[in-house]
Amino acid sequence: MKILHVNFHKGCELDIEYVFNKLGHTVQSWRFDDGETIGDSIYNINYSRAQKCWEKYKDFFNTFDGIITSDTCPTSRPFYKIIGRNY
């Protein structure tokens, strides 16, 4: 499987990469980005920022078989609509 790992933390990236590679999967780590926000504000992922992220990167996201998040749970917000959740 081709997995995207969304996070902000290098330690999480290395751990997830190690485990999934051992299981025979391909993993690509990606730091959350909405294409606009800089500095420490990047960690505050509200509805608007999640929407911007999804719109900017949805074609990229759809190239993966699965997406996991770690480190900070708000990084999962852009994907709520995929699973039919309103937030």
Q: For position 18, what pLDDT does the model report? A: 95
Global confidence as pTM: 0.81
pLDDT of res. 71: 77
Q: Which backbone phi and psi does 57 adopt, to 5 degrees? A: -120, 10
- Asked if pLDDT for residue 85 goes beyond 70, the answer is no
Beta-bridged to residue 68, according to DSSP, are 5
> Cβ of 50: how many Cβ atoms within 10 Å?
21
pLDDT digits (tens, 9 = 90+) for 4-53: 999 888 898 999 999 999 999 999 999 888 878 787 888 888 888 888 88
